[in-house]
Structure 1
Amino acid sequence: MAKRFSLATAFIIISLVGLTPAGAQTLVDGAFSLISTDDNVLKVVNLDDGTFKVEFVGPGEAKLVASADADLSDAVRQIYQEFEFLVYDQAAEADHIDLIILDTVPRAAADDAGGAENVATGGEAAADAAAETDGAADAEQSA
């Protein structure tokens, strides 16, 4: 799955880690290499401290290709990993969903109002308040 970023983001700083087949972190022999498949979308700057600055240059799709020598002896066994990025130029475009908590109700208040469902929907008291009645009109109409 591609990582999505708006051009409102100037850059990110990343580091790379070697992983075993089971997913545990492990050492690699020497430094990691990281390149972009399209410098018009992603520009990589090696910060020489084990981290990389990835600049978002323009909209489009590009991959970051990481490589390292996995063999800790004098032999060489190159490993590679690609990371897909989608960079878009509409800063106002949604790229994820969040939730907004509008209210919290203590359990005691929910129990006093006839249960959580009654509180969550506002209950009859809230409906009566919205209609500016005391509930008596409802009782008369249903009789």
Structure 2
Amino acid sequence: MRVPRQIRDAVLAHTAFCAPEEACGLLAGDNEGNLRMVYCLTNARHSPVAFTVEPEEHFRALRHAEANGWELVGAFHSHPYSEAYPSATDRRLAAEPDWIYLIASLVGPVGSRLRGYFLRSGTVVEETLEIGE
């Protein structure tokens, strides 16, 4: 999946800003499969090990995406103290099988800090992220 550099940078900046809590947000894309917008949102749980997107912010992101002819195509969150790999909770709670789930980590080499996955029926399929302009 091609991820524009500014979306990658926004996810990583939001991850650092929210630490030590998990960061979270949503991703919007167009009908050609391009990521167009990242929505950096509030973790309503304010937890370092779990997240829930603030419902009102989720709704505003959805309305903004629709107003621009986009749709929500994914979500992101961070793992402040572990690798960028879906936890058992991440796999269990992934409700959208067609969404890309980006996970940002504050540990490990910089190149491995953002990874993407499809989470379907408890299975994890890693998606190669190509960072571009």
Q: Decide which structure has greater helix share.
A: 2
Is TM > 0.5 for Structure 1 vs Structure 2? no
Computing the radius of gyration from Cα coordinates, the structure with the larger value is 1
**Relative contact order, CA 8 A, sep 6+: which one is greater?**
2
TM-score by length of 2: 0.29
